[in-house]
A = this chain, B = another copy of it.
């Protein structure tokens, strides 16, 4: 039973030749959850051979364009490819108007229904519980209302063995804000933004982003198993400095690269 994350975009506001803007796909038992949808996400989905038909739910963290511009093209393509089943879309309250207004301008209508679910500006909240996962949202600290997400696998015993539920937390775009750790303490994989190096810490604060060192510190405080950093400013051609800075506080850190897939192995209780 799979629990794996594929990175479709690891840049921040401006994409580069090697890094698209934010989008992640979490595969839980062959159900695909898309988290954020920067421009070009549908192209990355093709490039990394993810099946469009498997995507049934999309989560949008906040309404900055580098996290949502790919929605329009992806939604059109799903319709052109013959999708009929409803698409669940979780995001800030304003998302429904943005999407509806956009499609009102175009003659070709979507052939499936979009079911909008507004995120609530309150603490850790269960927003979805299906066969494969429980999904929680939690507010983070950004310039506009923004949320992180926690995915916790649902497990059932098989052949006398009891699997340990796996978990993934997505935490971007946000200031360094230690109280957030209560939302993902002990999770298997934490994605935390690391837009800047320590030398740009003032800029991180001014723009409500984090440094790589702060991402490492969050992982250490939360006692997670692994940290994945991303949402890198396009100014860093070489992100190895960011990786090194995060590893000071938290050695089990990887840097996100477009196309990478991180598998969380299944473990069993004794």
Interface of A toward B, CB cutoff 8 Å: 13-17, 20-21, 39-40, 42-43, 46-47, 63-66, 69-70, 72-73, 76-77, 80-81, 94, 97-98, 101-102, 105-108, 143-144
Contact = CB atoms under 8 A, between A and B. Distances in A.
Contact of A14 (B64, B69, B80): B80
Given A43-B20, A72-B69, A64 B106 contact: yes
Given A17-B46, A102-B102, A107 B144 contact: yes
Ranked 10 nearest A-B pairs via Cβ: A40-B40, A39-B73, A17-B47, A17-B46, A98-B105, A69-B73, A15-B43, A14-B77, A65-B76, A40-B43
A75 to B, nearest CB: 10
A63 B76 CA distance: 14
Contact of A101 (B14, B47, B65, B101): B101
Contacts of A17: 43, 46-47
A55 to B, nearest CB: 15
Contacts of A43: 15, 17, 20, 39-40
11 contacts: A15-B42, A15-B46, A20-B43, A39-B69, A40-B40, A65-B72, A65-B76, A65-B108, A97-B105, A101-B101, A101-B105
Contacts of A69: 39, 69, 72-73
Given A17-B46, A46-B17, A39 B70 contact: yes
A244 to B, nearest CB: 26
A63 B108 CA distance: 11
A172 to B, nearest CB: 17
Contact of A107 (B14, B39, B73, B143): B143
Contact of A42 (B39, B108, B143): B39
A8 B21 CA distance: 18
Contacts of A73: 15, 21, 39, 65-66, 69
Contacts of A46: 15-17
A14 B63 contact: no
A64 B144 contact: no
B65 A106 contact: yes
